[in-house]
Amino acid sequence: MVLLLFRHPLIDNKFLFNINLRFKIMAKTQQYVLITGGTSGIGYELARLLAKDGYNLVIVARGQEELDRTAHELTLAYKIKVITLSKDLFDRKAAFEVYDFVKSKGIRIDILVNDAGQGQYGEFIHTDLERELSIIQLNIASLVVLTKLFLIEMVERKSGKILNLASIASKVPGPLQAVYHGTKAFVHSFTEAIRSEVKESGVVVTSLLPGATATDFFRKADMLRSKTVQDGKLGDPADVAMDGYNALMNGDDMVVSGFKNKVQIAMSNVMPDEMVADNMHKQQAPKEGMKK
């Protein structure tokens, strides 16, 4: 091989490049991404991007029909493996069961995407407490469990990536969505903290902060009458996913998706919290004429 390189450097450099490329492709086809909430919205768009890039997927969601549809679509389009798991992450045991399922399959998770999350609209004194406790379980507890269990493995092998879906809600108080904003503030702070802890390990931990996005979130949160939905221009989940994907692959600590959202966060950073909260209250209030 040394003689060949000496006699035909151009040909052999190209040959070596092709061999190296094949090895990279083969390595990626053995890699798996675990995505919660991967059948719709931002989670689905992230699943599509990762599948397009050659990663195999483990998709977790509640509905088996939606899981099967998504798996069929992505397998057909990108020729990758998709494993589905129907789990309700509102359940305290579910995140542990997801981890046990992955281990039982002998799969190594190279990228973890914690996308699943919900909110509830309304004044805190009037909203359903049991529903809010379930949201805290989903948005915080299940995310913490999955992050801890898979992060331990990633640090041990000195490789891996985690993308946590926070929100610009993590940066501002959220009247009429007090618990949701509180959970996202936790997610972002938690993500930045553990990133600092493991920054010398070779593991990437990234926080994605989208604004209001055209997903099923607002219907599930009973928020369709809000000015945010009625008057605002909702972001494209595909654009948000691309921002998150690029940030993760670049090793960034966080990304605020969308110029308008970047401006809003910058302004909120120099305004008193009380004023920020009052402004958000007006933005999220029910549109005039719509039933509260």
Is 130 exposed, middle or buried (CB count within 10 Å of its CB: 0-12, 13-18, 19+)? exposed
Distance from CA of residue 14 to its chain's centroid?
38
HEC readout, 190-245: HHHHHHHHCCCCCEEEEEEECCCECCCHHHHCCCCCEHHHHCCCCECHHHHHHHHH
What the block records as the tokens of 31 is 């890699």
Strands (E), 26-93: 32-36, 56-61, 82-86
Pairing of strands 203-209, 160-165: parallel
Catalytic residue check, 180: yes
Q: Are 257 and 209 in contact (CB under 8 A)?
A: yes
Spatial distance between the Cα atoms of 49 and 71, rounded to a whole number of angstroms: 14
Per-residue DSSP letter, 290: S
Which candidate in 32, 99, 180, 245 is catalytic? 180
Catalytic residues: 180
